[in-house]
Amino acid sequence: MKNFPKVALVTGAARGIGKSTVERFLQEGLKVVATDILPENETLDNANFVSLSHDVSKAESWASILRDVKSRFGRLDILVNNAGIGTLPDVEEENDAGWMEMLNINAKSAWLGIKAVIPLMRFNKSGSIVNVSSIFGVSGGFGKSAAYHASKGAVSAVTRNAAIRYAPENIRVNAVSPGFVRVAREEKTIEKAGDEMSQDILFRTPMKRWAEPSEIASAINFLAGKDATYITGVELFVDGGWMAT
């Protein structure tokens, strides 16, 4: 029986954790579909890579991406729901528009992604979905970013729910929940919050540093791959010890 290269779809892939995950998957010999609302213009010198424009909050955009994947490869083995945004407003500062934008991009997208890929994974009788959640999906953080906390809490919850639903079909669903990662979006958000929060992050992180995107990508690669075939419904904290305190 011919052993086909596995195909992975990574959202929010133009930068940060998503870009590092794409690079790691390519190193592992996977074919990778990298999607983003603003795709990376850089063209990787790799025949196993394709970059596509994708609005993860829209069902029709997911349908278009999956048609493309099926046409190109005829299969999908891995989905990484990574696309997301973050803001600072607390419960009283947040407004309807900000709340809904956060839930749509961070949480609704994970549900739409799972829903979109299941038929193709079911056809191949296997699959692995990794949702990128956050330590702030299960902790109160600094009392800020209320909508972000709510959105990531939803991602963690739907991960567990979908893991149970699809386990009998050999489709695994897990989450990686990072702490603070040295990516442009997070650094800009913390810079806006001020030095006090930046110092507090290091104080509350036992390893006393931020993560590199490649460290999160390694955890995603583990949960997505052959070394985690009996793992589903797990939320793996990659946080320098934050959740242990």
Element (H, E) at 27: helix 16-27
- pLDDT at residue 5, rounded to an integer: 86
Q: And the tokens for 1?
A: 């029986």
For the entire predicted model, the pTM comes to 0.94
Task: Indicate if the pLDDT at residue 27 is higher than 80.
Answer: yes
Mean pLDDT of the chain: 93
Q: Which residue has 């589903």 as its token pair?
A: 232
Task: Indicate if the pLDDT at residue 170 is higher than 90.
Answer: yes
Band (pLDDT 50/70/90 cuts) for residue 44 is low
CA distances from 229 to 129, 174, 207 (A): 12, 11, 29
- pLDDT at residue 1, rounded to an integer: 40
Which residues on neighbouring strands pair with residue 211, listed in sequence order?
181
Beta carbons within 10 angstroms of residue 167's beta carbon: 13
CATH 3.40.50.720 fits 7-244, yes or no: yes
Q: Looking at 138-205, which runs of residues are DSSP E strands?
A: 171-178
What is the separation of C-alpha 162 from the centre of its chain, rounded to a whole number of angstroms?
Answer: 15
Band (pLDDT 50/70/90 cuts) for residue 28 is very high
User: Active site includes 230?
Assistant: no
- pLDDT at residue 232, rounded to an integer: 98
pLDDT in tens, 236-245: 999 999 999 9
Structure letter (DSSP) for residue 233: S
- Local structure of 238: helix, strand or coil: strand
pLDDT in tens, 52-66: 999 999 999 999 999
What is the separation of C-alpha 218 from the centre of its chain, rounded to a whole number of angstroms?
Answer: 13
CA distances from 11 to 84, 110, 180, 203 (A): 9, 10, 19, 32
Tell me which residue of 93, 90, 101 sits closest to 149, measured CA to CA. Answer: 90
Q: Which listed residue (25, 136, 148, 210) is catalytic?
A: 148
Task: Indicate if the pLDDT at residue 36 is higher than 70.
Answer: yes
Band (pLDDT 50/70/90 cuts) for residue 34 is very high
